[in-house]
Chain A
Amino acid sequence: MANFLIVIAGFVLALLALGLICVLRGPAKADRMMSAQLLGTSGIAALLLLSAAIGYPAIVDVALALALLAAFASIAFVTSSNRSDSKADIADGNEHRA
């Protein structure tokens, strides 16, 4: 059973590698933003499988941190893209503050 779970974890990581090749190559910014999402789900699956295979429950905490941080990374990607796309709004905001 432990070997089976590790094989599936390796399979998920191989799929992650394939997905990363496709997502990181995408010419638009939106394609690359999806990489955080991809990493989130695949990485969490691999970590949970490893945790059950090795029998070390603390790895689930790493999966929890990964879930939160993949979400935050995706938000950071989106807001930075919005920020650099709307420079006019920035000038407007400076006028408000001044």
Chain B
Amino acid sequence: MEMSIARDVFTILMVTAGAFFFLAGTIGLLRFPDTLTRLHALTKADNLGLGLVILGLLPWANGTLAGLKMIFIWLLVQFAGATVAQLIARVVRHGETQP
């Protein structure tokens, strides 16, 4: 009985924290003045929010393989997101140096 209450509390805490980081990322997206700063807010805050949400959902996964799949998704998003942020920043810089 305590295990299921503890599990529920853990999930609610983690998912709420993740949603808070999504909110912070979106506020940053809306309020930051520049493309580069908005890119920063988007990739960092949203990825962290996703990680917390996945952490909160791990107790509900359908077995070890499903849990590993969710962690793999998060790693893929982290990896691709970081590299794509670099690429988009290059596009911005390239646009600024072009006449």
Co-assembled chains A and B: yes
Binding site for B on A (CB under 8 A): 1, 4-5, 8, 11-12, 15, 18-19, 22-23, 26, 28-31, 33-34, 36-38, 40-42, 44-45, 48-49, 52, 57, 60, 63-64, 67-68, 70-71, 74-75, 78, 81-82, 85
Size of the B side of the interface (Cβ < 8 Å), in residues, is: 47
| Minimum distance in angstroms from B71 CB to a CB of chain A | 11
Given the known inter-chain contacts A37-B42, A49-B53, A60-B70, please indicate yes or no for A5 contacting B15, CB distance below 8 A: yes
Whole-angstrom distance between the Cβ of B6 and the nearest chain A Cβ: 13
Residues in B lying within 8 Å of A, measured CB to CB: 8, 11-12, 15-16, 18-19, 22-23, 25-26, 29-30, 35, 38-39, 42-43, 46-47, 49-50, 53-54, 57, 60-62, 66, 69-70, 72-73, 76-77, 80-81, 84-85, 87-88, 90-92, 94-95, 98
